[in-house]
Amino acid sequence: MIEQYSEGAVPDYQMAAMAMAIYFRDMDGSEIAELTAAIVDSGETIDLSAITGTKVDKHSTGGVGDKTTLIVGPLVAAAGIPVAKMSGRGLGHTGGTIDKLEAIRGFETELAKDRFIRNVNEVKLAVAAQSGNLTPADKKLYGLRDVTATVDSIPLIASSVMSKKIASGADAIVLDVKTGSGAFMKTLEGARRLAENMVAIGQRLGRETVAVISDMSEPLGYEVGNANEVREAVDVLRGRGEERLTEVCLTLASHMAVCARQFNGFEEARAHMQHMLDSGQALESFRKFVKAQNGEASFIDDPAQLPQAAYPIDVCANTGGYVEGIDAEAVGVAAMMLGAGRRTKEDVIDRSVGITLKKKIGDRVDKGECIAVLHANDANPEESREKLMKAIHIGSGRVAPPPIVHEIVR
Ligand code: URA
């Protein structure tokens, strides 16, 4: 069916009926794996055999302030493990790694295949924009799902994500499945089912796959927006990052290292990743990666060289208390309104704008205190300011933030 759908022999109305049937009836493990394999076969696959060592990919199901690739990639590469990563651009309230990297002056994300492979062999890390004709059936089916209300189906999401990972050629895959207000899966139970399905697909199709279920009930870290997130990634690589963001990055990197069979278990890998961070080797690996893709690396020591918005605008609390919740999706939308993200695929984004959160869940706030800064190129971004104010809930009771890593699914 997928083959004939790709060729146009199965029309959209039949495929829409099929998607709706899957939406209501679910699929069993072997059906999901067959569907995934058929989507992989609909297009090209990337051959990474010219890269020495076990290639481990990482994929996040998306969220707000998710700059983990910029941190995890250098951590893993510093340990000598090759990371050959294809990444996407952002749409809606979630950002894309390629957009973030393009905030770095000169940084090239369109890499020819031989350069991509050479960079991975030489500096152990390359991140390139998806190119070529990978999984065309997924693009076609996703477009159809979007207009037939069948996006929100675990077998369809799992096969869509895994087909792209498998076509990208990695030997092993570490998935970062987000749960919470800024994530596709709002509940832990939904995230767990998605993770289990994706891990099972990997197993059936011969790629070792591990999923980390991590928290997205508030934005990840303090920064949202492209240049903002690059700046925060450097802070983490300097060992000065927010604790929860640092923790999830170390966890993901350690699972990638274990999948690459370089360590005797998670604890050993975790200790090594901590050493990569503390010794500055991960930061050096980031510098080499930026230079290898023609980026000007001087911003690493002088963040003021990153694009800067014209107006830093303080957003102040109109009541005192404790931060009880931050609607991550609404913060993502507020950043998009400033120009940091795209409403439609055709929108042009502004890499200098974004939001700095000054408070996170559990923090105390005094009335009138600054809780966030909008970095805007419009002197009066009222729509965005209002959205952000509504996203940050201040109450009288102290709330503990949820754990950053909920579960590991193998
Ligand atoms: N992301 C994807 O790549 N596919 C889906 O179906 C949903 C989210």
The residue to mutate among 145, 157, 177, having the most atoms of ligand 1 within 8 angstroms of its beta carbon, is 157
Does residue 144 sit in helix, strand or coil? helix
DSSP 8-state assignment for residue 327? -
Residue 406's nearest CA partner among 244, 258, 273, 174 is 244
**In the predicted model, what is the mean pLDDT of residues 46-61?**
94
Residue 221's nearest CA partner among 182, 271, 265 is 182
DSSP 8-state assignment for residue 44? B
Compute, in angstroms, the gap from residue 337 CA to the centroid of ligand 1.
23
Contact assessment for residue 317 and residue 365, using Cβ atoms and an 8 Å cutoff: yes
**In the predicted model, what is the mean pLDDT of residues 313-329?**
97
Residue type at 187 in one-letter notation: T
Q: Which pTM value belongs to this model?
A: 0.96
**Whether residue 227 has pLDDT greater than 90:** yes
pLDDT of residue 400: 93
pLDDT tens digits for range 178-197: 999 889 899 999 999 999 99
**Whether residue 214 has pLDDT greater than 90:** yes
Radius of gyration of the chain (CA): 21
Tell me, using a 6 A CB cutoff, whether residue 167 lines ligand 1: no
Compute, in angstroms, the gap from residue 161 CA to the centroid of ligand 1.
5
pLDDT of residue 184: 86
57, 138, 235, 350: which is the annotated catalytic residue?
138
pLDDT of residue 88: 84
Tell me, using a 6 A CB cutoff, whether residue 156 lines ligand 1: yes
**Whether residue 213 has pLDDT greater than 90:** yes
User: What is the dihedral sign for C-alpha 123, 129, 135, 141?
Assistant: positive
Percent pLDDT > 90 in the chain is 93
Compute, in angstroms, the gap from residue 350 CA to the centroid of ligand 1.
25
pLDDT of residue 343: 86
Contact assessment for residue 59 and residue 207, using Cβ atoms and an 8 Å cutoff: no
Distances (CA, A) of 68 to 20, 93, 340: 34, 17, 18
Core vs surface per residue 378-398: b (16+ CB within 10 A) or e: beebeebbebbbebbebeeee
Residue type at 48 in one-letter notation: L
Percent pLDDT > 70 in the chain is 100
The pLDDT confidence band at residue 345, using thresholds 50, 70 and 90, is: confident
55, 100, 145, 270: which is the annotated catalytic residue?
145
Q: 239 φ, ψ to 5°?
A: 85, 15
Told to judge if 28 belongs to the known catalytic residues of this protein, a careful annotator would answer no
Average pLDDT, the chain: 96
Told to judge if 145 belongs to the known catalytic residues of this protein, a careful annotator would answer yes
6, 60, 153, 160: which is the annotated catalytic residue?
160
Q: Are strands 321-326 and 172-179 parallel, antiparallel or unpaired?
A: unpaired
Told to judge if 164 belongs to the known catalytic residues of this protein, a careful annotator would answer yes
**In the predicted model, what is the mean pLDDT of residues 55-67?**
94
Given the structure tokens 């991140």, which residue do they identify?
A: 127
**In the predicted model, what is the mean pLDDT of residues 352-356?**
98
The residue to mutate among 59, 87, 151, having the most atoms of ligand 1 within 8 angstroms of its beta carbon, is 151
Distance, in Å, from the CA atom of 3 to the CA atom of 5, rounded to the nearest integer, reads 5
Distance, in Å, from the CA atom of 59 to the CA atom of 66, rounded to the nearest integer, reads 11
59, 85, 359, 385: which is the annotated catalytic residue?
59
pLDDT tens digits for range 76-130: 999 999 999 999 888 777 889 999 999 999 999 999 999 999 999 999 999 999 8
pLDDT of residue 316: 97
Q: Of ligand 1's atoms, which has the minimum distance to the CA of residue 156? A: 6
Q: Of ligand 1's atoms, which has the minimum distance to the CA of residue 164? A: 3
Compute, in angstroms, the gap from residue 82 CA to the centroid of ligand 1.
25
Distance, in Å, from the CA atom of 336 to the CA atom of 288, rounded to the nearest integer, reads 31
Residue with the nearest Cα to atom 7 of ligand 1?
A: 157
Distance, in Å, from the CA atom of 332 to the CA atom of 70, rounded to the nearest integer, reads 19
Compute, in angstroms, the gap from residue 157 CA to the centroid of ligand 1.
5
Residue with the nearest Cα to atom 5 of ligand 1?
A: 157
The residue to mutate among 89, 91, 159, 161, having the most atoms of ligand 1 within 8 angstroms of its beta carbon, is 161
Residue with the nearest Cα to atom 2 of ligand 1?
A: 161
pLDDT tens digits for range 231-257: 999 999 999 999 999 999 999 999 999
* Structure-derived torsion over alpha carbons of residues 180, 256, 200, 408, reported in degrees to the nearest 10: -40
58, 124, 140, 164: which is the annotated catalytic residue?
164
pLDDT of residue 123: 97
Compute, in angstroms, the gap from residue 296 CA to the centroid of ligand 1.
33
